[in-house]
Structure 1
Amino acid sequence: MLKNKALIYIFFIFCCVIGCKKTGEFHHVLLYSWSEDAADQNKGAFLEIFENLPSAIKGLENVHIVKLENSLDRHDILIDMTFSSKTILKSYQNHPDHQKIEQYAIKVIQDYSYFQYTMK
């Protein structure tokens, strides 16, 4: 199971690398599994916070939200956040909107995982 998960991550990174336009971009990728009792309205509100982040955080270049159709670990959503540097990611972690995401996740997220990568 762990081997399959690693292969999925490697494949995803390969796909993202093809689409990356700038050397040095730093990607923070989140994989979420919805709680069984999470209402669609709450899921939408949770994702909306992510969608609005690039306008709120200088250096957060974009956020891609992908609905997963099939996942070995039963993740439902993948969020790929592109930062201009790792330093911007660190400052984002203290941003009020990140705190809002953490609080909202308690209501709608059952499980999550993440990985990070950069272009050289």
Structure 2
Amino acid sequence: MLHHIVMWTLKDEAEGEKKSANLAKAADMLKACADIVPGILRFEVGTAQPGMEATCDLLLCSAFADRTALAAYQNHPDHVAIKPFMKAVVESRQCFDYEA
């Protein structure tokens, strides 16, 4: 199993919107990718919540059957389509992939 974890910090303003609007849109876009290819075993999208510790604004915690499934996800047109928006609104991105 391959775990794919990504964390984003969004800009305060981008694309004519404040962070809160872009965060909601980014989370919805990611959630829409939850079952786009076979081999997705887990796909959780989380956003920072008031009163809870967080060092980022948006989190994707996912698991794939293997590297082939992750590659299929990363190259799927629905996933590729969200990248321009994410690049426009994201200040920083952290990613961590590992096999277990």
Fold-level similarity (TM above 0.5) = yes
1:108 equivalenced with 2:89 (yes/no):
yes
Report the TM-score when normalising by structure 2. Answer: 0.78
Which structure 2 residue ranges, 5 or more long, are not aligned? none
Asked which structure has the greater CA Rg, the reply is 1
1:56 equivalenced with 2:9 (yes/no):
no
**Conservation of the 8 A alpha-carbon contact between 2:4 and 2:96:** yes
Structure with the bigger RCO (C-alpha within 8 Å, sep 6+) is 2
Aligned to 1:28: 4
Q: Which has the higher strand share?
A: 2
State the Cα RMSD in Å: 1.7
Return the match for 1:70 from 35, 38, 54. 54
Cα shift at 1:77:
2.1
Identical aligned residues as a percent:
24
**Conservation of the 8 A alpha-carbon contact between 2:27 and 2:58:** no
Report the TM-score when normalising by structure 1. Answer: 0.66
Question: How many residue pairs end up in the alignment?
Answer: 92
